[in-house]
Amino acid sequence: MVKLPQTDIYAITCEKLSRGRDNLEVVKQLLAAGVKIIQYREKEKTKKEKYRQCLALSKMCREAGALFIVNDDVDIAILTDAGGIHVGQDDLPADAVRKLVGPKMIIGVSAGTPQEAADAVEHGADYLGVGPVFGTGTKEDAGKPVGLDFLKFVAQKYRLPLVAIGGINADNIHLVSGAGIKYFAMISALVAADDITAAVHGLRRRLKARENFLTD
């Protein structure tokens, strides 16, 4: 099984929330702050625009030792030598995606119900994107929040990596961690920050504070 790197923050792009900064500038700052997973997610750009940005971002991530994941567009992931692809419930199942991308690319699948999680695991997902945990306006199609109890359920039932997503920020990341989650996907908490480096460090301080509390 292909594995996610041992890290915590899973950053997702969204240029319209990035305070006038393009994705290349945002990702440059994220990588400089030590983020090791970047997902490219741009629903409103053309294929050509996404392809051009992903070519540059994939190269940036490889040079920084970070994993670059493309959302939905399997063809762009392949053409830009991405390290992974993330698909939703309306996309191809993981086993079909595997036939296209080969054995080395990591495949993530979104899951918001027990059945969706079970199906994703059965079809060979390398990790699950679980959520939305909290209410979020970032994704128009996000659906109703699944809550912390669902995170705990999935964390207890499956051994593969779980990436929580949806409304996570510095005020609640400790709650998500407490549900047994190791990976935290965020969009606005990172790309919309005035100071992206400070935002990354602040999130990690919150996680570290929880770890210290548990070990004291």
Total domains, the chain = 1
| 18, 36, 41, 50: the active-site residue | 41
Structural domain boundaries enclosing 198: 9-215
pTM of the model: 0.95
pLDDT band at 3 (very low <50, low <70, confident <90, very high): confident
Q: Does a structural domain hold residue 2?
A: no
Is 139 considered catalytic here? yes
Active site (annotated) includes residue 50 = no
Catalytic, out of 36, 50, 98, 139:
139
Share in percent of the chain as helix, strand, coil (round to 5): 45, 15, 40
Q: Is the pLDDT of residue 216 over 60?
A: no
Q: CATH number for the domain including 124? A: 3.20.20.70
Mean per-residue pLDDT, 137-155? 84
- Give the amino acid at 95: D
Write down the pLDDT at residue 211. Answer: 78
Rounded CA gap, 103 and 86, in Å?
Answer: 15
Residue 128's pLDDT is 98
> Which of 18, 58, 110, 177 is an active site residue?
110
What digits encode the pLDDT tens for the residues 28-38?
Answer: 999 999 999 99
| Residue 3, domain member (yes or no) | no
String of DSSP letters for 83-140:
SEEEE-TTS--HHHHHHHH-SSSEEEEEE-SHHHHHHHHHTT-SEEEE---S--SS-T
Q: Is residue 200 part of a domain?
A: yes
1 domain-assigned? no
